[in-house]
Amino acid sequence: MAKIVPLSSTKKTTLKTQVPPKKLSHYTTLSGLEGIVTLKSLWASNASFLNDKAELTHALNASKKAIKLLSSEKAMRAWGPAIKSAFEELESGLQAQSYVACFCSDDDNLSQWRGYGGAVQGVSLTFEQSTLTKRLKKNSAHLQQVIYAKVSTAQKLRDALEAELRDIAELEEVLGPSSEEEQQADILGRISRLLPKFKHLGFKDEREWRYVVQKKIPPRDMKFRVLQNKIVPYIEIGACEENFPIISVRIGPGTDQDLTARSVETFMKARGYDVDVTLSEVPFRQ
């Protein structure tokens, strides 16, 4: 089988890696807050159902372009059919093997609050990042920054994904000889891992970070939750007897923020948390 040589081996690329923030905020509803604090776990949703089909389509197209950018013609001849088949399966509805818990580097972000407008009261829970990352490590959850780019932004895609895609570009060295079925399964898993990394440039104000777990779950073991117009597969991560490293809670725009804040303070204290509960300062129209 032909060895795949990535373009990065012939042309050096400068990568710009951002250090994860010291604090990360998770936007959720009051019901979500109650569940996280009471159950002492987070829900990571399947990447195929993160938001809408447009986001998944953008992630697939961006991943496809990045792979082509980093692989030689010889590489694509060897692995092109398997890669093409994997993308077709994901585009036709096959669930990705990645599960994602979404966070933001900002605890009072207009773009995030817009997702909780109308009759749903939004809140943001701010965590100490290093402690949370350590807790989620036992679930093999990896923290990664979301890349906001147009699919046409070739150099940005290449720079941001060189490390991740190098393994795809050198699969024969990584895996050794394997059957066609094994190759297909591995390619599918690796492409699934790329999907949570991409969002369209228009969403850049969200400043999102994601904990990603790569895991294939048999249908009989799946858990589900209702989210807007869909029933989303998810897994629980971070389950532990100890409280989460929550630093503060921000009450999003709503009809009576003061009353909501008092209720949240009462709840958090009853569950052993001594945290600041503040109100959003973002002007927001329902």
Query: What integer pLDDT is reported at residue 89 of this predicted model?
Result: 75
Mode of pairing for the β-strands spanning 122-128 and 147-148: unpaired
Could you give the number of structural domains in the chain?
1
d(CA 65, CA 152) in angstroms, rounded, equals 9
Query: Can you give the pTM of this predicted structure?
Result: 0.77
The answer to the question of residue 236 being in a domain is: yes
Q: Is residue 189 part of a domain?
A: yes
Rounded Cα distance, 224 and 106, in Å: 28
Let me know: does 280 contact 113? Beta carbons within 8 Å.
Answer: yes
Q: What is the DSSP string of 227-257?
A: ETTEEEEEEEE---SSPP-EEEEEEPS-S-H
Contact 209, 20 (CB under 8 A): yes
Question: Is 286 part of a structural domain of the chain?
Answer: no
In this prediction, residue 204 carries a pLDDT of: 73
7 assigned to some structural domain? no
**What is the reported pLDDT for 222?**
86
Q: Tell me, yes or no, whether 8 lies in a domain.
A: no
pLDDT by position in tens, the chain (length 286):
333 333 333 333 333 457 899 999 999 999 999 999 999 999 999 887 865 556 667 667 767 776 776 666 666 666 677 778 777 777 776 667 789 999 999 999 998 998 776 678 999 999 999 999 999 999 999 998 887 766 555 555 556 555 555 555 555 444 444 566 776 777 777 777 777 777 766 667 778 999 999 888 888 888 999 887 889 999 999 999 999 999 999 999 988 999 999 999 999 999 999 999 999 998 866 5
Q: Among 274, 21, 257, which Cα is nearest to 123's? A: 257
Residue at 11 is within a domain:
no
Full residue range of the structural domain in which residue 200 is found: 19-279
For residue 61, being part of any structural domain is answered with: yes
d(C-alpha 92, C-alpha 162), whole Å: 27
What the block records as the tokens of 252 is 């999003």
In a domain, 13, yes or no: no
